[in-house]
Amino acid sequence: MRKLDLREDWGNYLKEATDEELAEAALLLHSFKRKRNGDYSTFVGALFGMERDFDEENGTLTLTVQNSTLLNNSIGILHGGLTATILDSTMGTLANNSLPDDKAVVTTEMKVNFLKPGIGDAFRCVANIIHKGSKIIVVEGKVFSENHKLIAHSTGSFFIINRKR
Amino acid sequence: MRKLDLREDWGNYLKEATDEELAEAALLLHSFKRKRNGDYSTFVGALFGMERDFDEENGTLTLTVQNSTLLNNSIGILHGGLTATILDSTMGTLANNSLPDDKAVVTTEMKVNFLKPGIGDAFRCVANIIHKGSKIIVVEGKVFSENHKLIAHSTGSFFIINRKR
Amino acid sequence: MRKLDLREDWGNYLKEATDEELAEAALLLHSFKRKRNGDYSTFVGALFGMERDFDEENGTLTLTVQNSTLLNNSIGILHGGLTATILDSTMGTLANNSLPDDKAVVTTEMKVNFLKPGIGDAFRCVANIIHKGSKIIVVEGKVFSENHKLIAHSTGSFFIINRKR
Amino acid sequence: MRKLDLREDWGNYLKEATDEELAEAALLLHSFKRKRNGDYSTFVGALFGMERDFDEENGTLTLTVQNSTLLNNSIGILHGGLTATILDSTMGTLANNSLPDDKAVVTTEMKVNFLKPGIGDAFRCVANIIHKGSKIIVVEGKVFSENHKLIAHSTGSFFIINRKR
């Protein structure tokens, strides 16, 4: 049975796990459970433990993510591509939020400037709309480390489409 | 015991898992094992099942990655940020490969143009060097879907640093 | 009379002109005449002495421009913004060429990587289409100096609009 | 005689000039004179009639430029490449200003998002430093039309070099 085999395999893997491996396996299980519970619609969102906070007054969206060894590149800092993932998620969510229910956005381009190594227990990404056109929304995003250091800056273009039903 | 608890927790999670959840848990376990075996130095590399192929004659690096539901965004296609992750990995690896052992690179900026939805069982990313300066290497990357459609294009700047020992 | 005053003013300016100033005034007059003759639709095109060559087989557009002290920045090399101007002109013209007569494009974004100082008597810019979508055309542009050195690389997004009559 | 010939040529050109051509020739002469007087170090600066205003408290640089038919593209709005020229000038000047006298910067990359058509009598470009590293300064620039509408947004990387004596 596949299910039984997989349980045994996971069991065997965990039996010999180092502390780091245990922490990673625990984090992933936690992510899977939260996805199953409907807390997150994607594995990426669950893995990052993304929490959103929309500031209606300023029109900014803040997304907080938890760091882990799973997000590291080969020199032990936040993978640049994952920094881009956090930025894309935050900027795209803000662009979507600014539209009526029958519209959505797709990212057409984004540039990221990497400013400082991404280290620490958590990151905070803040997005704001630079320009809302009738076809394209241009958004700015900034990623901060826990000590409020700016580690990455991005601008992206989000094309408005009709949401599929 | 933490280890025992975690094994039990994973067991319980798998007991009630859907087919998609089983596939995801199997893929993750496979990734963890390959990381433990030293096949990959990062979880991201293992999760993507990255395979590298350097073409010395043309100076291009091709990185093949396996798709899975873990890499999807909320509308079921490859997450834009993960597309950027594949590009950053391929372009950065090529830039590193072009340097002597005591040098390495850090990404200073990258722009990605998203051209088509990322769908299919696997993706292929091809990187080539646009310009190799004494301080900065500029690299181009292209991501193709299985049917050879170009789904994303990127250029990035990689700053040369002394490798830490 | 305004016309008479201006002729006198130009006359006085030229009387005391250095060799560089004479060359610049001659180049500008030449540009103005070519614009009056209809060789160019814009002053920028005339000032650069832009010549276009479309390679139908490869789908590339090559634009050749003449250098002059008028195009220099404060350290005597091609102004980075003017490099961007050459790129935008070439890439935008190619995107326009690829469309039927009732369509045109506007640039929505472009990134330029500056690779080498722009020096020499002339520059050559080559553009090719990376992706032609139904809404956006993504184009690559490269600027070469006379000795075939790549001095700048760009990618840009061109949004398709209905041409105004 | 070359000088005499050129004066005669300019005279002949102006004799038959339209109002727009007269305005352009007057503007160019004015630019040349200001460059001769030392008001500007480059023709581009003189042509745009660039005026700088550094706000020490906020660390922002504002550059005001005068519009003219000389700066138009073929559909009668500010040429996208010249928008990039204004941005590069403002951002680069701010980066230079932030350094000691023996250092200068060169632009390594810039991305521009074009948001609205550039129309009106003048434009205002405001630059601020996003991150000042030891090797690279990342700067943001915004171009506004006279009615305070944001028409373009840019971020650029400026590499620090030793100033040549």
Tokens of D124: 């205002």
Q: Does C135 touch chain A (CB under 8 A)?
A: yes
Asked whether the predicted pLDDT for residue D150 surpasses 80, the reply is yes
Helices (H), chain A: 2-15, 19-36, 43-48, 80-97
Q: Does B159 touch chain D (CB under 8 A)?
A: yes
Reported as type and span, the H/E element at residue B89 is: helix B80-97
Residues B153, B125, B161, CA angle at the centre, nearest 5°? Answer: 85
Q: Does C36 touch chain B (CB under 8 A)?
A: no
Tokens of A161: 């489409």
Asked whether the predicted pLDDT for residue D74 surpasses 90, the reply is no
A7-11, A74-78, A90-94 — which is least confidently predicted? A74-78
Query: Does residue B156 sit in helix, strand or coil?
Result: strand
| Closest CB from B13, B75, B108 relative to A29 | B13
Looking at residue B165, what is its pLDDT? Answer: 64
Looking at residue A74, what is its pLDDT? Answer: 83
B32/A42 CB distance under 8 A: no
Looking at residue D2, what is its pLDDT? Answer: 81
End-to-end CA, chain A? 37
Surface-to-core class of residue A112, CB atoms within 10 Å of its CB (0-12 exposed, 13-18 middle, 19+ buried): buried
Asked whether the predicted pLDDT for residue B48 surpasses 60, the reply is yes
Beta-carbon count within 10 A of C24 CB: 19
Residue C8 Ramachandran class (φ > 0 left, ψ -120 to 50 alpha, else beta): alpha
Q: Does B134 touch chain C (CB under 8 A)?
A: no
> Chain D: nearest CA to C52, how far in angstroms?
15
> How much of chain B, in percent, has pLDDT values that exceed 90?
90
> Which of C115, C116, C131 is the mutation pick for testing B, counting most B CBs within 10 A?
C131
Q: Does D119 touch chain C (CB under 8 A)?
A: no
Residue of chain D nearest B137, judged by CA positions: D108
- What count of CB pairs under 8 Å joins A to B? 159
Which residues in chain D are closer than 8 Å to C107, comparing Cβ atoms? 80, 114
Residue C64, amino acid: T
Looking at residue D160, what is its pLDDT? Answer: 97
> Chain A: nearest CA to C116, how far in angstroms?
21
D111/B108 CB distance under 8 A: no
The mean per-residue pLDDT over the stretch B105-118 comes to 97
Beta-carbon count within 10 A of D14 CB: 24
Give the span between the Cα atoms of B30 and B81, in whole angstroms: 23
Tokens of A91: 């900027």
Sheet holding D122-132, edge to edge: C51-55, C60-66, C122-132, C136-145, C150-162, C103-114, D103-114, D150-162, D136-145, D122-132, D60-66, D51-55
pLDDT in tens, B74-108: 888 999 999 999 999 999 999 999 999 999 999 99
Q: Per residue of chain C (165 residues), give pLDDT as tens.
A: 588 899 999 999 999 999 999 999 999 999 999 999 999 989 999 999 999 999 999 999 999 999 999 999 888 899 999 999 999 999 999 999 999 999 999 999 999 999 999 999 999 999 999 999 999 999 999 999 988 999 999 999 999 999 876
* Residues A159 and A108 sit within 8 Å (Cβ to Cβ): yes
Q: Does A109 touch chain C (CB under 8 A)?
A: yes
Give the span between the Cα atoms of A125 and A145, in whole angstroms: 9
Chain Cα centroid distance, residue B165: 25
Q: Does C115 touch chain B (CB under 8 A)?
A: yes
Average per-residue pLDDT for chain B: 94
Looking at residue A125, what is its pLDDT? Answer: 98
Q: Please, which chains are in contact with A (at least 3 CB pairs closer than 8 A)?
A: B, C, D
Q: Does C93 touch chain D (CB under 8 A)?
A: no
Give the span between the Cα atoms of D52 and D55, in whole angstroms: 10
Tokens of D18: 């339209």
B37-51, D52-66, D84-98, D123-137 — which is least confidently predicted? B37-51
Looking at residue B76, what is its pLDDT? Answer: 86
pLDDT in tens, A116-149: 999 999 999 999 999 999 999 999 999 999 889 9
Reported as type and span, the H/E element at residue C33 is: helix C19-36
Looking at residue D144, what is its pLDDT? Answer: 98
Which residues in chain B are closer than 8 Å to A6, comparing Cβ atoms? 14, 22, 25-26, 29
The mean per-residue pLDDT over the stretch D146-153 comes to 95
pLDDT in tens, A37-61: 999 989 999 999 999 999 999 999 9
| Closest CB from C74, C106, C113 relative to D42 | C74
Query: Does residue C107 sit in helix, strand or coil?
Result: strand
Give the span between the Cα atoms of D165 and D162, in whole angstroms: 9
Q: Which residues pair with D125 in a beta bridge?
A: D63, D143
Q: Does D153 touch chain A (CB under 8 A)?
A: yes
Main-chain dihedrals φ then ψ at residue B2, nearest 5 degrees: -60, -45
C81/D81 CB distance under 8 A: yes
Q: Does C132 touch chain A (CB under 8 A)?
A: no
> Chain B: nearest CA to A144, how far in angstroms?
16
The mean per-residue pLDDT over the stretch D115-139 comes to 97
Higher pLDDT, B140 or C42: B140
C88/D85 CB distance under 8 A: no
Q: Does D111 touch chain A (CB under 8 A)?
A: yes
A1-5, A41-45, B54-58 — which is least confidently predicted? A1-5
